[in-house]
């Protein structure tokens, strides 16, 4: 299997080791669990895609890794081991040393992530000045270099530009330059290309792959687009209703998905159906927080659900470095994509 080396690497020396992470929110109606039992590891330089429909907990998972959720309402339990530091319990000071420096993050909408009243150069250099001891001149040099490395032409000129003077693709490049400036070991990218045109998306994906290869930087790529994952990542985590339901190498997951939800997502892609034929879909919708079904959370939408699916479903070892949260996976021969 082509992806086996990556998975072995993940097992031997993880950069990030998440064990049993649950995120819950305090609401007027009591505590609601948004994600449950999230367990996965990221090896140095590994690129992992996190997929699922909206409301499956992808974004919350990414935000929790940097404790970016409001702490008065969001509670994180479990262990989030990043190079020996537990991100769930470490001090704010320890976290500040990691955020932006060793773990970077970029978002879907660069316009709301960039400050409109500062030049992009200042915003990129800010990360350096906050984390490293260096002169402004030195920080400026490094920021220019970062702008150049993300493919921005005439960086000396762009350095003094304000975000509104740049196009969407250019802004996302600025975000990436800012996130990369301290050479993080891990970049969390939450739908970074969803708002971009497809030709610009292709440029940004190429850039992220290239930067990750060159700097041996791991990537946690959150997206709803399976095509983007196939082109960017080596491993894929499928999330459903706040749980990881499948963990496999990208090629393996695409060709032989083991969870009915992963298979359903693949079948719903129009390009895989004959032109003008009826498209398969997944009936129903993701259950809302506080109304999670017992046992398998997907069973109400699952065409393979039988008696027994209402029992608790652990994320079990499926061999070849794969994991799946479905007790029937050995009996099911699910369709994926194939030649």
Partner 1 sequence: MTDARTPTLSVRELRVEFPATERGATVKAVDGVSFDILKGETFGLIGESGSGKTTIGRAVVHLVEPTAGTILHDGVDPATLSSRDFRAARRAWQIVFQDPNAALNPRSTILTSVMEPLAILGVGSAAERRLAAMRALARVGLPEEIGARYPHQLSGGQKQRVVIARTLTLKPELIVCDEVVAALDMSIRGDVLNLFAELQRELGLTYLFITHDLSVVSHISDRIAVAYLGRLVELGPAEAVTESAIHPYTRALLSAEPAPLPSHMRTGKRILLEGEIPSPINPPSGCHFRTRCGHAVDLCAQRAPEWREIVRGHWAACHFAEQFSGEKNEVGNKAGATLMGG
Residues in contact with partner 1 by the rule CB under 8 A: 2, 53-54, 167-170, 197-203, 205-206, 224-231, 250-251, 254-255, 263-276, 278-282, 285, 333-339
* 88 vs 229, beta carbon nearer partner 1: 229
Q: How would you label 106-118 residue by residue, b for 16+ Cβ within 10 Å and e otherwise? A: bbbbbeebbeeee
**In whole angstroms, what is the distance from residue 46 CA to residue 287 CA?**
31
* 118 vs 304, beta carbon nearer partner 1: 304
**In whole angstroms, what is the distance from residue 56 CA to residue 48 CA?**
17
Closest approach, Cβ 221 to partner 1, in A, equals 12
* 133 vs 271, beta carbon nearer partner 1: 271
**In whole angstroms, what is the distance from residue 113 CA to residue 96 CA?**
18
Closest approach, Cβ 187 to partner 1, in A, equals 18
Return the closest-CA partner of residue 6 out of 51, 43, 49, 40. Answer: 43
Closest approach, Cβ 94 to partner 1, in A, equals 37
Return the closest-CA partner of residue 305 out of 319, 277, 284, 336. Answer: 284
Return the closest-CA partner of residue 219 out of 231, 208, 227, 205. Answer: 208
Closest approach, Cβ 62 to partner 1, in A, equals 18
Closest approach, Cβ 237 to partner 1, in A, equals 16
* 80 vs 177, beta carbon nearer partner 1: 177
Closest approach, Cβ 306 to partner 1, in A, equals 16
Closest approach, Cβ 334 to partner 1, in A, equals 6
* 159 vs 261, beta carbon nearer partner 1: 261
- Say if residue 29 is exposed, middle or buried (CB neighbours under 10 Å; 0-12, 13-18, 19+): exposed
250's tokens: 């990208």
DSSP classification of residue 231: H
On the CB side of 131, CA atoms within 13 Å amount to 23
Closest approach, Cβ 281 to partner 1, in A, equals 4
**In whole angstroms, what is the distance from residue 196 CA to residue 167 CA?**
10
DSSP classification of residue 258: -
DSSP string, 167-227: -HHHHHHHHHHHHHTT--SEEEEESTTTTS-HHHHHHHHHHHHHHHHHHT-EEEEE-S-HH
Helix axis angle, 168-180 to 198-215, nearest 10° = 10
**99 SS3 class:** strand
* 95 vs 230, beta carbon nearer partner 1: 230
**42 SS3 class:** strand
* 115 vs 197, beta carbon nearer partner 1: 197
Closest approach, Cβ 182 to partner 1, in A, equals 28
* 107 vs 221, beta carbon nearer partner 1: 221
* 295 vs 335, beta carbon nearer partner 1: 335
């Amino acid at each position: 299997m082509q992806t086996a080396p990556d998975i072995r690497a993940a097992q031997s020396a993880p950069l990030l080791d998440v064990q049993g992470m649950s995120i819950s929110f305090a609401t007027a109606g009591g505590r609601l669990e948004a994600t449950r039992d999230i367990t996965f590891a990221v090896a140095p330089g590994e690129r992992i895609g996190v997929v699922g429909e909206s409301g499956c907990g992808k974004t919350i998972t990414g935000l929790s890794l940097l404790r970016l959720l409001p702490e008065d309402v969001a509670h994180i339990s479990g262990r989030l081991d990043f190079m020996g530091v537990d991100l769930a319990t470490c001090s704010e000071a320890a976290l500040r040393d990691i955020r932006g420096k060793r773990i970077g993050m970029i978002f879907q909408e660069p316009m709301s992530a960039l400050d409109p009243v500062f030049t992009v150069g200042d915003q990129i250099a800010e990360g350096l000045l906050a984390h490293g001891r260096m002169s402004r001149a030195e920080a400026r040099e490094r920021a220019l270099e970062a702008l150049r490395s993300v493919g921005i032409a005439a960086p000396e000129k762009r350095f003094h530009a304000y975000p509104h003077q740049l196009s969407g693709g250019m802004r996302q490049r600025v975000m990436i330059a800012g996130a990369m400036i301290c050479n993080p070991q891990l970049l969390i990218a939450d739908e970074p290309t969803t708002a971009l045109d497809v030709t610009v998306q292709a440029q940004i994906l190429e850039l992220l792959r290239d930067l990750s290869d060159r700097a041996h930087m791991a990537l946690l790529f959150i997206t709803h687009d399976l095509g983007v994952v196939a082109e960017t990542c080596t491993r894929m985590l499928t999330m459903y209703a706040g749980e990881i339901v499948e963990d496999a190498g990208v090629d393996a997951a695409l060709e032989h998905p083991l969870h009915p939800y992963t298979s359903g997502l693949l079948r719903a892609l129009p390009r895989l159906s004959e032109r003008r034929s009826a498209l398969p879909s997944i009936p129903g919708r993701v259950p809302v927080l506080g109304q999670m079904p017992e046992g398998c959370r997907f069973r109400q939408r699952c065409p393979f659900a039988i008696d027994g699916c209402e029992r608790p479903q652990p994320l079990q070892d499926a061999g070849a470095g794969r994991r799946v949260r479905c007790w029937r996976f050995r009996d099911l021969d699910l369709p994926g994509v194939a030649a």
